[in-house]
Copies of this chain bind each other. A is one copy, B any other.
Amino acid sequence: MKTKFILVLLLIFSCVSSFSATAAEPLPSWNDGPVKKTILEFVAAVTDKNSKGYVEPAGRIAVFDNDGTLWVEYPMYTQVLFAFDRVKKLAPQHPEWKTSQPFKALLAGDMKTVGASGMKGLMEIVIATHSGMTAVEFEQEVSNWLAATKQKKFNRLYTELVYQPQLELLDYLQANEFKTFIVSGGGIAFMRPITEKTYGIPPEQVVGSSVLTKFQDKDGKPVLVRMPKIDFINDKAGKPVGIYQHIGRRPILAFGNSDSDMQMIEYTMAGEGRRLGLFVHHTDADREYAYDRKSHVGVLDKALDEADTNGWIIVDMKKDWKAVFPDR
């Protein structure tokens, strides 16, 4: 009897404390203004049973791009830097790279020639560095690299260069019974090792690009082997397709930062009822970077022109974010 009483007390305590946590002022790193107001009003509307815009918890799907939306992508996508480092690491086993492009240029530090090899060259580098090993081995490679490699400008790990306001927004949405997903052009297997710890997003809620994978027997053990062939590119018009195949229902909130996110946001906004589509605009050269229309990564151009017409929210990093990164 006494145990039962204590148990009930514990249950009360855990319920009440989680209630109070939810009631704290949300989004402290977002400056007051029309953007923050729009987000708060949207969440209030879809979670209020008496609101016309009410959405059942099961339908509260929110999708976030990763590079430039949740973590730094400038001056180069983290995964590309990982691939470059792997080329250097694997070079002794690939003497043929000494004479074949874009590997030769990359090994010589001639980034101009690497850049000139374009998407084709980049794909060759991705395939050479992301396949030919088991799923478990690749995950270990990614984890090791991310635990050891610091971004140059900020001298911090990439997993520390996540946007504090977005971490708060993810928390806030999760506390309001949203299911939050990453929907990124980046590799699904590159992101998954860190999304749970970094964003509170479990691997099964990550959607991304992938290489063909085969189930094989290796020394009597069943393993998944990553093959040298792109399976799916989860970018631009691929994003709504990735959402369809992985999630199977249309999000009500989508957050991106570049023209590559337009289709995901169009698809999200085209559903019935209340919807929210947002883009981070990188306007803060002091605290992070400033880039948009003419950038070599994360181009934000068409989306800027069409935002007003389409009711998309442009989040101005400099103006709307009180802090950019978590405190050290």
Q: Which residue of B lies closest to A239 (CB)?
A: B215
Would A240 and B266 count as touching, CB distance under 8 A?
no
Which of B12, B213, B221 has a CB less than 8 Å from the CB of A244? B213
- The interface bits of chain A over 1-37 (1 if a CB of B lies within 8 angstroms of the residue's CB, else 0) are 0000001100110111001000000000000000000
- For A, the interface residue count at a CB cutoff of 8 angstroms equals 45
Contacting residues, chain B, for A249 (C-beta < 8 A):
203-204
Which of B206, B241, B248 has a CB less than 8 Å from the CB of A215? B241
A306 at the interface (CB under 8 A from B): no
Would A204 and B248 count as touching, CB distance under 8 A?
yes
Q: With A16-B11, A204-B249 as known contacts, state yes or no: A240 contacts B221, CB within 8 Å.
A: no
Contacting residues, chain B, for A11 (C-beta < 8 A):
12, 15-16, 19
Tell me the smallest distance from the CB of A63 to a CB of chain B, in Å: 11
Q: Which residue of B lies closest to A14 (CB)?
A: B15
Would A240 and B267 count as touching, CB distance under 8 A?
no
Would A222 and B267 count as touching, CB distance under 8 A?
yes
Would A266 and B222 count as touching, CB distance under 8 A?
yes
Contacting residues, chain B, for A8 (C-beta < 8 A):
12, 15-16
Tell me the smallest distance from the CB of A247 to a CB of chain B, in Å: 5
**How many Å lie between the Cα of A143 and that of B281 in the bound state?**
41
Q: List 14 A-B contacts (CB under 8 A).
A: A11-B12, A58-B202, A61-B204, A135-B244, A179-B204, A189-B248, A204-B249, A210-B245, A215-B238, A215-B239, A222-B263, A222-B267, A222-B270, A224-B244
